[in-house]
Amino acid sequence: MLRVGLTGGIGSGKSAVSERLAARGAVVIDADVLAREVVARGTDGLAEVVAAFGPGVLTADGDLDRPALGKLVFGDETARRTLEAIIHPRVRLRSAQLEAAAADRSPSAIVVHDIPLLVETGQADRFDLVLVVDVPVEVQLERLTAQRGMAAAEAEQRIASQASRADRLAAADVVLDNSGSLEELDRRVAEVWATFEHRLSHGPDTKR
């Protein structure tokens, strides 16, 4: 098995990369997806979030009101850390279970953990390779506002609550520049995939 940690700032293109890696056969474990599952309706995770933040973070249907909670935590570091302390241990447990299941199914699997906060949470050493999807902050802002319809102030707040571009690059074994077109991204993902396959069959000497 090859264990890859995939990270990048918000809107850098992690999902675009992980979709392409999955199409080539990687098993992708997406921390954002798990972070939603562990606070789904009826979970003890959601009960803890409500205990910490009050019933105002629930919708009328009893689901987590994500925009409301986002307004509370982005811009208030203490609140954000309280939320992370509830969610991150649950995400780690679930991702370890999914990885073990993938290893059982295929000992030569390439498992890609898509983790937005990989650098912030000091997890780089857990992986055989850390792949950083890199774009300048201006490109993050442009894609988040123009393509995802996020308000500029919200995008700036989330970027400010994440590691700097330099800190992320310092943790990278492989950097994937996603500042170009989607066609260029296809080519770069093909190169990265070849690096992974080489590493899987030849061992750690190819680590950059």
Residues binding ligand COD (CB under 6 A): 10, 31-32, 35, 66, 69-70, 73, 80, 83-84, 87, 91, 116-117, 158, 161-162
Give the one entry of ligand COD, ligand ATP, none that residue 200 binds, where binding means its C-beta sits below a cut-off of 5 to 8 angstroms depending on kind. Answer: none
Q: How far apart are CA 128 and CA 80, in angstroms?
A: 29
**What DSSP string runs through 82-127?**
HHHHHHHHHHHHHHHHHHHHHHHH-TT-EEEEE-TTTTTTT-GGGS
Q: Is 14 annotated as a binding residue?
A: yes
Residue closer to ligand ATP, measured from CB, 54 or 180: 180
User: Structure tokens of 29?
Assistant: 């474990």
Among ligand ATP, ligand COD, none, what binds residue 65 when CB lies within 5 to 8 Å by partner kind? Answer: none
Residue 42 annotated in ligand binding: no
Among 41, 66, 148, 198, binds ligand ATP (CB under 6 A): 148
Sign of CA dihedral 23, 129, 83, 44: positive
Look at residue 8 and give the partner it binds from ligand COD, ligand ATP, none, a contact being a CB closer than 5 to 8 Å depending on partner kind.
ligand ATP
Residue 11 marked as a ligand binder: yes
* Residues linked to residue 132 through DSSP beta bridges, in sequence order: 7, 175
96 is in an annotated binding site: no
Q: Is 12 annotated as a binding residue?
A: yes
Backbone Cα Rg of the chain: 18
Structure tokens at 106: 């295929």
Only segment of 38-46, 69-77, 82-90, 174-182 that touches ligand ATP (CB under 6 A): 174-182
Residue nearest to ligand COD (CB): 10
25: tokens are 């056969």
Tokens of 27: 């098993």
Tell which residue, 1, 17, 52, has the closest CA to residue 131.
17
Nearest approach, Cβ of residue 111 and ligand COD (Å): 17
Residue 175 backbone dihedrals phi, psi, to 5 degrees: -110, 130
Q: Is 5 in the site for ligand ATP (CB under 6 A)?
A: no
Binding residues with ligand ATP: total (CB under 6 A) = 18
Query: One-letter amino acid identity for 180?
Result: G
Annotated binding site: 11-16
Annotated binding site for ATP: 11-16
